[in-house]
Amino acid sequence: MADYKEAPLASRPQTLDPREYLELSPEERRAQEERLAIRARLKLQYLSQLNDPHRTELIEDPALTRWSYARNLNHIYPNFRPSPKTSLLGFVCGVVPLFVLYYVFKTDRDRKEKLIKEGMERPFSLTS
Amino acid sequence: MALRVSWLRSLSRDVRKSLQLARSSDKYARAASSISKDMLPGPHPRTPEERAQAAKKYNMRVEDYEPYPDDGMGFGDYPKLPDRSQQERDPWYTWDEPDLRRNWGEPMHWDFDMYIRNRVDTSPNPVDWNTMVKTLGGFVGLMLFMFFLGELFPSYQPVAPKQYPYNNLYLENGGEPDKEVPEVKNYKI
């Protein structure tokens, strides 16, 4: 197992990365430890709720609540601010399609109308 | 899965006139509104104290916490997590939610529902991106070119107008039997 090759849908795990053992600085190690500590605290909270025999309800996940609230309009609209980027996006998505689609449909329909008037196109003809 | 039903939950909960508890994640006797306002996402943090508070709120390290840039797009203080799909995470670790490969309380990516295992996947590819693009572009371009050539130079079985016997069906088409019957020869020997 000395030669680990990354498989098509599996990237190299952290425990087999030579960088982890050879080049990691103490600050990075400390950061990893802190992340592990946070994860362990959350795990403890979750498991104590999960295995509590007196629990009768679902375990509520505040991260999930926050995520769904963040994507709600109640959070997005107060944080919206007209800036160059948002104005440009609004213009491109809201105003430009009106004109572009009007132009495209109008020219296409006019062309068809011209052909039908000349008799070159017969959309509902029954005899041929 | 009942993911986006926070409003439904608060509707169905009994309105209990109990005190609002400070830590909403521990006890089961809750007030009518389940989570307090300071635990929800808020506006973009401006001072380092606000950043520290936001990092604590989202269960992240202060150094790891990076909000979206404040250009008015509506993200607020939601953290900007790396764009990695759930498929990339370790399949053998005992996640709290094994299907989603996620632990309880872990901050979710803004596009989490896009990065689930059934959808967009950012795992490493067997071939590198440029090779893939070139292969696809080459194939599609070649096919388009061949179809274009086929429109320019069509090739099909030879066809001719239909030929009828008996002098092009002269009598059947209403010709007089006494009149001179025009001789029509549809063959050549």
At A99-128, the pLDDT tens digits run 999 999 999 999 999 999 998 888 888 887
* Ramachandran bin of B174, using left for φ above 0, alpha for ψ from -120 to 50, beta for the remaining angles: left
Q: How many CB atoms lie within 10 A of CB B77?
A: 24
Placement of tokens 């007196």 in the chain: A54
A63 and B34 in contact by Cβ < 8 A?
A: no
B44 to chain A nearest CA, in Å?
Answer: 8
Which among B87, B83, B85, B81 is positioned nearest to B107, based on CA atoms? B81
At A34-67, the pLDDT tens digits run 999 999 999 999 999 999 999 998 998 999 999 9
Q: Which residue of A has its CA nearest to B71?
A: A83
User: Does the pLDDT of residue B12 top 60, yes or no?
Assistant: no
pLDDT band for position B17 (50/70/90)?
Answer: very low
ipTM score of complex: 0.76
Which among B80, B102, B83, B78 is positioned nearest to B1, based on CA atoms? B102
Q: Which residues pair with B79 in a beta bridge?
A: B67
* Ramachandran bin of B43, using left for φ above 0, alpha for ψ from -120 to 50, beta for the remaining angles: beta
A37 in reach of chain B (CB within 8 A): no
Task: Tell which wins on pLDDT, B174 or A93.
Answer: A93
User: Does the pLDDT of residue B18 top 70, yes or no?
Assistant: no
Q: What percent of chain A has pLDDT over 90?
A: 65
Task: Tell which wins on pLDDT, B130 or A36.
Answer: A36
Task: Tell which wins on pLDDT, A53 or B26.
Answer: A53
B104 and A60 in contact by Cβ < 8 A?
A: no
Looking at residue B20, the DSSP 8-state letter turns out to be P
User: Does the pLDDT of residue B29 top 90, yes or no?
Assistant: no
